[in-house]
Structure 1
Amino acid sequence: MLTYEMASVEATQALAARLGEVVQAGDVLCLSGDLGAGKTTFTQGLARGLGVEEPVSSPTFTIIKEYDDGRIPLYHMDIYRLGEAAVHEDLGYDEYFYGAGVSVIEWSEYLEDLLPEDRLLAHITIAEGGGRHLVFTATGPRATARLKELEQLCPTSH
């Protein structure tokens, strides 16, 4: 587990960009946190780290957006609108999870039964003063490797 205290949107995006530099095809990143906690903001930073140049916005109504102009494709999913029905939607989740890019899933808790066992979890909360508190947890060897790489790039004080 890694914990970060980020004082600003820019700092949160900078951390996410560093993660974007090390993620690999087939990595799955699950983002959780309250509405407005910064899941899309984090994804924007990750996209920057991947070299994605087009603007990244929340796919709330399209559910899944693909960005192919970076080092590897970014599959950005926002499951909030589907809620509990998400597991019953045939949106080809496996093609994304095991595809040629990195999958970033906002509100991933609604897909719990469909997610790969090996994934990186990032829980984002609003901290006092408007900053963000990020807690990363790995659930397998692949995600653990990403956390170790992130920690080398961005050591924590904890």
Structure 2
Amino acid sequence: MSSSDPRTRRVITRAWQIPTCEGWIWSIEPDPETGLGGAGHACKARASHHIAAVRYTGGAHTPADRDVCRAHLAAELDHLRREHAWTWRLQRVAMPAPTITALTLTVDVRGWAHGHKRWHLTETDATTTVIALELFSTSPPIPTPPPRRDRTARPGAPAPQLALFTL
């Protein structure tokens, strides 16, 4: 599949259907020696990429899908690479490489013109393309279509005066 072919195109009608980042932001890092403590919160920025990977847990392959923003994409891929290397070292099981798809959210202009708020979520293959990483998750807002023209009635030209003809 080439990088320009869309993989899936899903219609989104509600804001809660828009995928958000599943990354974690540490406000207080945990103790490096014990790994305990620390505080933070979920990222919840709009996701820009979807990662479909396979994990080997308990002697079985399980799918692991995550939606991440560009700020957490590198950390998630590094975590998967370390996990696959650890699985190879301990279990001698080769894991497939993760599949990365870019998520593009566009407004349905025809639906918007008729008063329906509807978006299209398109996934395109981004496994072989160069991904620009970000330090902070600054996903652009959902683009809104141009405003509709106002179709209110305007007064027209006055009607022509009719002359009375007498014979």
* Higher relative contact order, chain-length normalized (CA < 8 Å, sep 6+): 1
- TM above 0.5, one fold? no
Please tell me the TM-score bracket, short chain as reference: under 0.3
Q: Please, what TM-score do these two structures have when normalized by structure 1? A: 0.25
Q: Greater helix share, 1 or 2?
A: 1
Q: Greater strand share, 1 or 2?
A: 2
Q: Please, what TM-score do these two structures have when normalized by structure 2? A: 0.24
Larger Rg: 2
